[in-house]
Amino acid sequence: MKIHLKVWRQQNAQSKGYFESYDLDHIEPDMSFLEMLDVLNESLIDQGKEPVEFDHDCREGICGMCSMVINGKPHGPQKLTTTCQLHMRSFKDGDSITIEPFRAKAFPVIKDLIVDRSAFDRIQQSGGYISVNTSGRPVDANAIPIEKESADASFNAATCIGCGACVAACKNASAMLFTSAKVSQYALLPQGRVEANTRVLNMVKQMDLEGFGNCTNTGACEIECPKGISLENIARLNREYLGAVAKG
Amino acid sequence: MATLDSKVPKGPLAEKWSKHKNDIKLVNPANKRNIDIIVVGTGLAGASASATLAELGYNVKTFCYQDSPRRAHSIAAQGGVNAAKNYQGDGDSVYRLFYDTIKGGDYRSREANVHRLAEVSTNIIDQCVAQGVPFAREYGGLLDNRSFGGVQVSRTFYAKGQTGQQLLLGAYSAMNRQIQRGKIKSYTRHEMMDLVLVDGKARGIIARDLVSGEIERHGAHAVVLATGGYGNVFFLSTYCMGANVMAAWRAHRRGAYFANPCFTQIHPTCIPVSGDHQSKLTLMSESLRNDGRIWVPKNLEDAKAIREGRLKPVQIAEEDRDYFLERRYPAFGNLVPRDVASRAAKERCDAGHGVNKTGEAVYLDFDSAIMRYGREKANTSGLKDADDKTVRALGEKIVEAKYGNLFQMYEKIADENPYKTPMKIYPAVHYAMGGLWVDYNLMTTIPGCYAAGEANFSDHGANRLGASALMQGLADGYFVLPYTIGDYLADDIQTGAIDTQSAEFDQAEKAVREKLERLMSGSGTHSVDYYHKKLGKIMWNKCGMSRNAKELQEAIDEIAALRKDFYKNVRIPGSADTKNQELEKAGRVADFLELGELFALDALNRNESCGGHFREECQTEDGEALRDDENYRYVAAWEFKGEPKDAVLHKEELVYENIELKTRSYK
């Protein structure tokens, strides 16, 4: 396959970015998208140029490290697929592909396609946990039976990989889908109910402080989420939040 | 030759850990506030250790090279975590888990450590449930279990095919709570470049900020390395791209002995290599062997026809298929341990029965499971006379509920539908049983330097059983290291903060800067990946699933020559004082080029076959591994002496007081 690439290049957070064009021959349909970029980088290094920097690690679609917007879509054209699991067979011979970093005020660019997503960590730190001591002696794991449906729903929310595609997809760069997934995971379990009120208040407060936009329920986040995290979680977060505010 | 003191407590096996906890020194809460600990790596072992240490009151600094602690590669573990809960009432016990692990490891692990692991395994499940880890449950609301290779009970707890993700996010949440309290300071996008010793004790690290390129000094009273395994020495593996041996190797160069480097796990069920562009391999969870059957065509002509695309697997009649694991190992069938399954697959492919273009793949077939589950479902849904098509549809639904995410991942990568045609799989490098030598307290041979999780060597012997890596990572981090470290730190309550302006820190920082300059000054002929791929080829061909003395010696020489060429001719664009991914890779590959040589040396020294280490010279008539307990019942711990090939061997004799050494049989 022949591919024409337009890639966002930016030296660091302070400098101005621009698009650079590259042409690649001999791309195999079985290559992953990131392996295609490996090929590009090998050729750039051969020419004595700086390779394109991008975040990636597990290349199995689970660590959430890979990002980038491909032809206007976070993680590219395939549904329920991270960039690392996208393969070149999703493109046609001769295609032009535009690659940009995730764009959001709360995700500043570090270099080329790499952005700083530490705002997500800080949202989790503000309340994304259950306050039990690891060194304590908790009760037996089977002491509290949990309805299978709740456990499964909690698990589904917990499969969020924290990649930030929801923010990149949102016209307001809102982090509601991400935040609501964590709130939901705990809200659906008896162990998590104990601190449910303070958790939702603290996490929403931190989310706002980080500069993410508001949610207007357009649902782009759900469509682009590589793990299929449901909008129901946002509804649940709103319910939890209103309940917590009412309780004061 | 020096002898290694494992510090295993005296007394009966089942009482050693309780007794040890009563005997070791403690640090009182007020004093803990004056003690700093560095934890490098934030996977299961690192995240759980740092959370617990911070909770106990120590001041913790954590380091990871990723952009968040949550990205560590424990997240990719699929199948599950073992624990001797015996919730299924199938006869499981702490002793059985202990026994299975020792036997699975082919009698090359330390008895006392493994028993402790089995003891604390049950706490892990309690802890994780309390933390909100959403494990799979049955309709009655209780926890569900499944079975894994090398055992005959169901003791594996799981969260679909994402157990590692859920456990890691649990440990990460515990870390976050301590970060919020101010007890953990988390350094992300940072890499440990060297360990700093003061008066022979580990007192800090030199780290590189991967964004700014700045070299930083961090002091502490103890340093915990939870930096995972070194399987990426093979270039192609199921590890994440950034996984590296740098921290462990730097510690090794500073005096920590490296144990059993040749004990590396090659996992039987991975998606086969598709071409030269391949950057990594993807695992298909061992849990699939609960329901999938492994086979190749019995007739060489059929295999050839399949390779050439003239025949499809579904066209091969039942009697023309060779279910070789069921044939060779009737007692365990498809659930034999990983080393055994991998070797058997290689044997069939080498004999010409492989089923992909390159002849390096076997089938993992779900057809009979789909029909079995479908029939059961039809019976319980009042469809006793259902036709095959209906049964198949019902069965596919059930298989999807169990393994849906794995099937989806397979389809994305291989572009084939595994519900309709069998998966193609082949063994790939997956885990390192070897690692830094540690005593019972998890301390390396450098006082104050600890190793936890995959980074140490202690629990899995020569082969790890499925679902035991998560167990060990969390056992070390939550329940072992936070207590044993107190025994050492009790002497440091009056030390005060570690001065990072000392001559030792100056010298270590200087060495790091010189190393970076040396890497940047290569002639610029070849990229880092060029060298990494070459190293990987040597490792896979000569130190892979089967090894012999001649090729191991060749590997030692070839790796040394490659290393020399690397420093002379590597090309790293950009500069060292900015974000530079090529430089990051180069530093890691430089260490792999040393470790690879030690790996081959260790494999050459171990003139026996055991677990994942198969020496062609040592096998039974029917091709099974032939152990030599008389001469090799020891841990090989290597001391660094300048060049990897000059490493000095120290032996820790393995004493089995509670288990009779037997030939491992799964027949």
pLDDT tens for each residue of B378-424: 999 999 899 999 999 999 999 998 888 899 999 999 999 999 999 99
B455 and B505 share one domain: no
pLDDT tens for each residue of B133-162: 999 999 999 999 988 888 889 999 999 889
B424 and B447 share one domain: no
d(CA B111, CA B555): 33
Q: Within 10 A of B660 (CB to CB), how many other CB atoms are there? A: 6
The reply to whether residue A124 touches residue B527, judged by beta carbons under 8 angstroms, is no
B57 and B193 share one domain: yes
B315 and B442 share one domain: no
B59 and B175 share one domain: yes
Kindly report the nearest CA distance between residue B447 and chain A, in angstroms.
Answer: 25
What is the CATH class of A117-247? mainly alpha
pLDDT tens for each residue of B342-389: 999 999 999 999 999 999 999 999 999 999 999 999 999 999 899 999
Which residue do the tokens 């890979």 mark? A66
Domain-by-domain residue ranges, chain A?
A: 3-110, 117-247
Residue among B84, B633, B620 at smallest CA distance from B340: B620
pLDDT tens for each residue of B123-138: 999 999 999 999 999 9
| Residue B563 annotated among the catalytic residues of the structure | no
Sign of the C-alpha dihedral computed for residues A71, A77, A83 and A88 taken in this order: negative
The reply to whether residue B172 touches residue A124, judged by beta carbons under 8 angstroms, is yes
d(CA A214, CA A175): 8
Q: Which chain B residue lies closest to A50 (C-alpha atoms)?
A: B573
CATH number of the domain enclosing B541:
1.20.58.100
Residue B308 CB partners (closer than 8 Å, separation 6+) = none
pLDDT at B147: 86
pLDDT at B522: 86
d(CA A31, CA A42): 15
User: Which residues constitute the domain of residue B169?
Assistant: 14-76+162-264+430-492
Residue B646: Cβ-neighbour burial (10 angstroms; 0-12, 13-18, 19+):
exposed
d(CA B90, CA B147): 11
Single-letter amino acid, residue B106: D
Residue among B604, B605, B594 at smallest CA distance from B253: B594
- Asked if pLDDT for residue B175 goes beyond 50, the answer is yes
Task: Pick the residue of A39, A50, A134 with the most B CBs within 10 A to test the interface with B by mutation.
Answer: A134
Catalytic residue among B71, B110, B250, B338: B338
- Asked if pLDDT for residue A144 goes beyond 60, the answer is yes
- For chain B, what is the domain count? 3
Single-letter amino acid, residue B280: K
Mean per-residue pLDDT, B276-287: 92
Residue B389 CB partners (closer than 8 Å, separation 6+) = none
Q: Which chain B residue lies closest to A126 (C-alpha atoms)?
A: B180
Tell me the longest C-alpha to C-alpha distance in chain A: 64
pLDDT at B1: 42
pLDDT at B3: 61
pLDDT at B402: 84
pLDDT tens for each residue of A19-57: 999 999 999 999 999 999 999 999 999 998 999 999 999
Q: Which chain B residue lies closest to A145 (C-alpha atoms)?
A: B141
- What's the mean pLDDT when you consider all of chain B? 96
- Choose the closest CB to B130 out of A57, A138, A159: A138
What angle, 0 to 180 degrees and rounded to 10, lies between the N-to-C axes of helices A118-125 and A176-187? 30
Is CATH 3.10.20.30 the classification given to domain A3-110?
yes
B56 and B197 share one domain: yes
Q: Rounded to an integer, what is the distance from CA B474 to the centroid of its chain?
A: 13
Residue B342 CB partners (closer than 8 Å, separation 6+) = B266, B267, B268, B427, B545, B612
Write out chain B residues lying below 8 Å of A56, CB-based.
Answer: 241
B658 within a domain of the structure (yes/no): no
- Asked if pLDDT for residue B589 goes beyond 50, the answer is yes
pLDDT tens for each residue of B464-516: 999 999 999 999 999 999 999 999 999 999 999 999 999 999 999 999 999 99
CB B62 within 8 A of CB B185: yes
Beta-bridge partners for B204:
B196, B219
Q: Which chain A residue lies closest to B172 (C-alpha atoms)?
A: A129
Write out chain B residues lying below 8 Å of A10, CB-based.
Answer: none
- Asked if pLDDT for residue B454 goes beyond 70, the answer is yes
Phi-psi region for residue B642, left (φ > 0), alpha (ψ -120 to 50) or beta?
Answer: left
- Band the pLDDT of A193: cuts 50, 70, 90: very high
Mean per-residue pLDDT, B222-226: 98
Task: Pick the residue of B278, B523, B581 with the most A CBs within 10 A to test the interface with A by mutation.
Answer: B581
pLDDT tens for each residue of B45-81: 999 999 999 999 999 999 999 999 999 999 999 989 9
pLDDT at B469: 97
Size of interface A-B (CB pairs under 8 A): 210
- Choose the closest CB to A28 out of B142, B275, B280: B275
B423 and B313 share one domain: yes
